[in-house]
Every structure is written in C-alpha cells, then in structure tokens.
Amino acid sequence: MYDYYRAADRQAAVVDPDSGRAGRKHPAFDAVEAKWIDPGIVLGQLVALVRDVPYSLDLVQTTSLYPPPEGGPKTLEEWEALPEDSPYQEGPCIDELPAHVRDTLAGIPDSRVADLAERWGRIEEFIAPPDTGYLTTLITELRDLAQRAQEENQMIYCWMCA
C-alpha cells in the first residue's frame, strides 16, 4: 500500500508512522491513497511520461525518513539480528519525494490527463491493465496534491506498508 501526502516538514511527515495517511486512517494529512503505485518504478514511469523522457530507475530518487536510516542495520549480521516486528524488516516506511517530482506532477494540464492515464496503463509493471478511469482520477488527485504542496512550499511524502 502506498499513500502520498504533503506535510509541513520532515518532522511532521513522520508523526505516527504506523498509521496510513489517506482517508479516515489519518485525517490530519492531505493524502491520496495510491494502492500499488510505488514511487520509484510505477510513479517514476508516470513522471517520465509527463516529461516525455525515457524512464530510468534514478528518475525518482526518494529520501528515506522512517525508519530512520541512521539507526538501521548496516551488516548482514545486524539484519539477521533484527526482531521480526522491526520496521526495518516489515515497515511501514516513509520517504520524501524530490521537489522535481512534485513540480512535474503539479504541472500536468487537464488536457493531458486522459492521454497520460491511457499510456501509463500500458506499462509492464501493471500485470493486468488497470481501469483507465481509475488512473485518470489518480493522476488528477496526485496533480492536485502536488499543486497544494507547491502553494504551501511543502514536499510530497510516501507512506508505504506491505
């Protein structure tokens, strides 16, 4: 599960990390529930389509905020010693998206949404082609979220949980 949301700063973004961000799960956040749209690959493909550039894995390089990277395991032995319920093992995780992703999404004009949804729905990462109506709505929601984040000089974050 992936929830995209905006927050005043990194400290605000990681408040109550065990709770999802969208809908009734956490009403304090302005969020979009994006189900299986991960930031690096599937959202990255949308960013590439919007920019009309080839997709690459480094197009959306997020910054990990939770669990804190500075406290994370660094060796195989440390990974193996983690308890099963460690957030480093199971999540949830919170990442900050780069400003260029926010700005790219915010700049999607209404006239491109339907075409982007149709093209995005054809990427191979979607095992079965998703409903174009769903993708159209999702693109619009992500765009609107990005515009509100821009207006408030905020970043977009992604809350992820298996």
- CA dist 149 and 88 (Å) reads 28
Task: Give residue-wise pLDDT tens across range 16-60.
Answer: 998 889 876 667 899 999 989 999 999 999 999 999 999 999 999
Strand order in the sheet with 30-33: 30-33, 2-7, 155-160, 93-96, 63-66
138 vs 132: CA distance, rounded Å = 10
pLDDT tens, residue by residue, 102-124: 999 999 999 999 999 999 999 99
Yes or no: say if 92 and 129 are a contact pair by the CB < 8 Å rule: no
Count other C-beta atoms under 10 Å from residue 5's C-beta: 24
